[in-house]
Chains A and B, each alone.
Chain A
Amino acid sequence: MTRILCPLLVGLVVITSLAITLTRHQSRKLFVELQALEQRHDAMNDEWGRLQLEQATLGTHGRIEERARSALNMTMPSVTDVIIVTD
């Protein structure tokens, strides 16, 4: 009985210890990958924030109004220029 059980248990111990090492290694690898992805996510988030800010700064109403009036020579249509279409 013991003659069979002993080597069996020893074998199991060897197998589980190898498995632990393997999963441990895998979890490390996956964590590193997760970190890399998270870093990318953060970087993209930062970029998104910066782009939003840039867009908001470029799109400031005051700036657009100023550009429209001076650079593009646009004016607000006066009431006389508006034709109302009714049915």
Chain B
Amino acid sequence: MVRRLSFDGRRRFVVSAFVVGAALLVWRAVYLQLSETDVLQGHGADRYLRTVELPAHRGTITDRHNEPLAVSTPVSSVGVIPSKLTQVRGRWPALARALGISGQELSAFVQSRLERRFVLLRRHVPPELAEEVMRLDIDGVELRQEVHRYYPAGEVTAHCVGFTDIDDNGQEGIELAYDEHLRGVSGSKRVIQDLNGHVVENVESVRAPQPGRDLALSIDKRIQYVAYRELKAAVREHQARAGSMVVLDTQTGEVLAAVNQPSYNPNNRKQLRAGYFRNRALTDTFEPGSTIKPFTIASALESGAIGVKTMIDTGPGTLRVGRHTVRDLHDYGLLDATGIISKSSNVGITKIAISLEPGQLWRMLAGLGFGAATGSGFPGEAVGRLQHYAAWRTIDNATLGFGYGLSVTALQLASAYLAFANDGMVLPVSLTRLPERHTGRRVMSRSSAQTVRGMLEAAVRQGTGALARITGYRVAGKTGTVHKLARGGGYAEDRYVSLFAGMIPASQPRLIAVTMIDEPARGEHFGGQVAAPVFARVMRDATRLLDIPPDDIAPLLPQNEQFLTRVHTADLPPVIRP
């Protein structure tokens, strides 16, 4: 008899094993579906959903007539995915050749960044190069869109506008000062990507990018250009170390031009040397010398220390004050205030200055803004130095009277001359276009301001500022020639700063300009020889550009042809073009 085999136990075992297995799977499925949905969906989404950053446009900087001075445009940057690029080593030489780098450089670059997902290899490439690289069609090489900042006016506006770094952050000048205003807020959006990282579909916008706001400067590009051209020519002609010029609108206090030498091209800063990017007109101070004398006279007129007709004996051309001797170029004898200004007599001004109570002159100079920030908000702007009169010695009153012992910037000097142009009122200066006129602040009486303006006119008509004359216009202004401080202390005998501060038309000034030439080295060094002609050349063009009517038309009328020819050939400086 054959024993009947029973597989019951075995069958039950197998079936129950299957049941348990199936139950486990079902339980696992239910568990994943119910309690871990979010996590798992997130993991899934990570494979195809990407949040892409949307760069925001940086605002444009324009001049006062909306001519662009700094514009952002998109450019491509070449980036690589190291993990993919290593698969196609055979194509590396082609890529290196296209980008103009050696094979070793490329290989070193990629090898040192193997763990990175994506790196930018070459930033801000020209469009043609970007196209060429893409035509190579190498796996792992991609283009990224970035923005690049261009400065169409180049070196002419370089110092005022400043520049940004490669990531579009302001680094210098207005770009830095108004970075918050110009900068946009980048946005982001979610997209669906395929395996190769190409965008298949835009899903939703997370945050819309907010473009930066535009900014209009007070600069008039045309006047800025003329000033730059003439300053550059003058600095080259006199082989000077540096130079600055500031042009102000007297009615609003806006800076129409601020130029400096040496300058640089903000679009290509490879050769940039330290010091080239300093906006000297605002950041560098100098002793203003004789250009301060009109304020000393105004201060004396205000206090009643002298009258317009008071005669002062400047003979014999020297004067001892304490241990120091003040000198004039010649013995001018008896001079009234007009004579002292137009001859720029140090002895005469010293006699007036020491007759003043110390606080008097200090209040005038401090009221004009010397030793304080102009409020332009420019990064690195210097405040200059004006010591409080409590710390003065007798000689200080005298030296201050002819502009030594204090230091100013070209912009401060120009803004102080607003007082003479605006009948005693000064205005805060501005580097940006003002929506409305500021109210002024009175620093001297109307009559003192007008009287001194008349003296400044005489200084140009028949005094040291003769080369600042412009046919058809009445010009008022003051020259300055300042000894520079020597390194070992005291003043250097052979190093000068040549200055001219003037306004036009003198009957009702519209423009003020200060020209500063640092260390002219060609023999001529007087402000009247070096700085005044620059003023004349710039203002001749500026009056034409701004349609400022002549206020001295007699020499322009046909019946005065004889006089006119004489003026034209004899008195005007030869025009030197760069």
Contact = CB atoms under 8 A, between A and B. Distances in A.
B225 interface: yes
A77 B484 CA distance: 40
B67 interface: yes
B205 A31 contact: yes
B156 to A, nearest CB: 8
A46 B472 CA distance: 47
A7 interface: no
B553 A50 contact: no
Contacts of B471: 79
B472 to A, nearest CB: 7
Interface string A28-52: 0001101100000000011001101
A61 B564 contact: no
A82 B544 CA distance: 12
Interface residues of B, number: 36
Contacts of A52: 60, 68, 71, 152
A61 B221 contact: yes
A53 B564 contact: no
A1 interface: no
A32 B263 CA distance: 49
B49 to A, nearest CB: 15
Contact of B73 (A50, A57, A62): A50
A16 to B, nearest CB: 22
A13 to B, nearest CB: 22
B229 interface: yes
B233 interface: no
B72 interface: yes
A75 to B, nearest CB: 11
Contact of A35 (B202, B556, B557): B202
B204 A45 contact: no
B550 interface: yes
A56 B225 CA distance: 13
B556 A79 contact: yes
B556 A56 contact: no
B364 interface: no
A56 B472 contact: no
Contacts of A61: 156, 221-222, 225-226
A57 B152 contact: yes
Q: How large, as a class, is the contact surface on chain A? A: 20 to 34
Contacts of A79: 471-472, 555-556, 564, 567-568
Interface in B550-574: 550, 553, 555-558, 561, 564-565, 567-568
Interface in B73-106: 73-74
A49 B74 CA distance: 9
Interface string B33-68: 000000000000000000000000100100000011
Interface in B107-143: none
Contact of A84 (B74, B152, B153, B556): B556
Chain A facing B: main interface SS: helix
Nearest to A45: B57
Given A79-B564, A80-B564, A60 B152 contact: yes
B94 to A, nearest CB: 29
Nearest to B541: A76
Nearest to B201: A32
B150 interface: yes
A48 to B, nearest CB: 9
B553 A84 contact: yes
Given A35-B202, A78-B568, A84-B550, A53 B556 contact: no
B444 to A, nearest CB: 34
Interface in A48-87: 49-50, 52-53, 56-57, 60-62, 78-80, 82-84, 86
A38 B153 CA distance: 30
A53 B73 contact: yes
A8 B57 CA distance: 54
B225 A32 contact: no
Contacts of A62: 225, 229
B553 to A, nearest CB: 5
A53 B71 contact: yes
A35 to B, nearest CB: 5
Given A49-B73, A53-B150, A60-B152, A31 B222 contact: no
Given A61-B222, A80-B568, A56 B67 contact: yes
Contacts of B557: 84, 86
Contacts of A34: 205
Interface string B526-560: 00000000000000000000000010010111100
A86 B204 CA distance: 69
A79 to B, nearest CB: 5
B153 A56 contact: yes
A80 B565 contact: yes
Nearest to A82: B556
Interface of B: 57, 60, 67-68, 71-74, 150, 152-154, 156, 201-205, 221-222, 225-226, 229, 471-472, 550, 553, 555-558, 561, 564-565, 567-568
The 8 A-B pairs with the shortest beta carbon distances in the complex, nearest first, are A56-B152, A61-B225, A49-B73, A84-B556, A35-B202, A79-B471, A52-B68, A56-B68
19 contacts: A31-B204, A32-B202, A34-B205, A46-B73, A49-B73, A52-B152, A53-B71, A53-B150, A56-B68, A60-B152, A60-B154, A61-B221, A61-B222, A61-B226, A79-B555, A80-B568, A84-B553, A84-B557, A86-B553
